[in-house]
Amino acid sequence: MVILFHADESLFLHGYLGVDVFFVVSGYVITPRLLEIFSDSGVRKSSVIYEVKIFFTRRFFRLIPALISTLATTGILLFFLAPFEDQKRIGMQGVSTLFGLGNLGAYKFSGNYFTPNPNPLIHTWSLSIEEQIYLLLPLIMVAWKLVLKRSFVVLFVWIACLSLAIFSIPSLETRVHNLSGYALEGFGFYSPLSRVWQFAAGGLLYLLTLQSAKTKDSKLTRLQFFSILVFLVVLFLPVVLDHRIVSFLIVIVTLPILHLGSFYSLPKKIVYTFKNLGDQSYSTYLFHMPLIYLAKFSPFFGAGIDKDRSRYISSLPLQSRWYLVDKVTFI
């Protein structure tokens, strides 16, 4: 979904919603890993701290080595093949991503996600949000369990409600993000505060159902197919809606698909194909945007100045515009 959107947004207007689906699925999958921290019935402080370290270590080795490899490889490629005038901005984005702040880099160096300056690493904003959630949520859960000793369902409800309010109300979103002392108007799209409700929604689904067994019957099968149909309708809506509205819709639709195991009702060959795509999804996600960027903007591949590049050129001073056009024409 995301790759198609990045390749040509006019072909798949709502493909970016794949990120929203990812946050929900992540919450559903990672929450049981978080609960393992508290598997000790006595919930001893020492054992909890040890389990948190294990969680951090596993997440680190799952995400960071592949990320470093991608940044190193694409850094070399972009140094030789990317337009010269983009390289400083790309380098700064790469450094931000390496330190888990790719969302801040995307906001600073690309601005609006839907009309960005060309940025081959803009997609790492979602990875950085995921990393920030992995870092902070276990600590919040430890404090919640050891101090308040309340159910995690209550915690996830609070997180989901507060984050959804920030996400849904632009004035509140701006006010919250400006508490840092910096003017962060429009940062909400890239902010973990505006996104953690999606992760919490997936986590709540797991907590409430605890992966209850599914019984196969005709009624369930119809619900499974119906949920997939609604999912596809939201994705392929021919009308461009505010991203908040469609994000909320896709989350609401994704939850019953996870609960019902809807995709397992599809033919085995399709399920097998999805599984293979899932196995390769992280590496594909990391590499796809740099390759698309080079295909679109690198003069060494004969790329012309398309509409994205034209928007970027129009934002430059006049002298820089002429230099850029002359350089591309010469090459």
Kindly report which listed range (16-20, 72-76, 116-120, 140-144) carries the lowest average pLDDT score: 116-120
Q: Which of 177, 204, 21 is nearest to 103 (CA)?
A: 177
Give pairs for 284-288: CB < 8 Å, separation 24+: 284/3, 285/2, 285/123, 285/127, 286/66, 286/67, 286/70, 286/124, 287/70, 287/74, 288/2, 288/3, 288/6, 288/123
User: What is the pLDDT averaged over residues 168-188?
Assistant: 74
**Biggest alpha carbon distance in the chain?**
71
Q: 């461009």: which residue's tokens?
A: 240
Q: What is the Cα–Cα distance from 160 to 47, expressed in whole angstroms?
A: 28
Q: What is the Cα–Cα distance from 221 to 224, expressed in whole angstroms?
A: 5
Q: How far is CA 54 from CA 29, 49, 58, 130, 136, in A?
A: 17, 9, 6, 17, 15
Task: Give CA angle at 103 (99, 105), nearest 5°.
Answer: 75
Quick check: 75 pLDDT over 80?
yes
Q: 């160096």: which residue's tokens?
A: 109
Return the DSSP state at 146.
Answer: I
Kindly report which listed range (84-88, 201-205, 225-229, 275-279) carries the lowest average pLDDT score: 84-88
DSSP 3-state assignment of 187?
helix
User: Residue 134 CB: number of other CB atoms within 10 A?
Assistant: 22
Q: Which of 179 and 315 is assigned the larger pLDDT?
A: 179
**How much is the pTM?**
0.84
Q: What is the Cα–Cα distance from 11 to 209, expressed in whole angstroms?
A: 37
Q: Which of 51, 64, 194, 54 is nearest to 133 (CA)?
A: 194
User: What is the pLDDT averaged over residues 97-121?
Assistant: 88
Whole-angstrom Cα Rg for the chain: 22
HEC assignment per residue over 236-294 = CCCCCCCHHHHHHHHHHHHHHHHHHCHHHHCCHHHHHHHHHHHHHHHHHHHHHHHHHHH
Quick check: 319 pLDDT over 90?
no
Tell me the pLDDT band of 47, cut-offs 50, 70 and 90.
confident
What pLDDT is stored for residue 302 in this prediction?
61
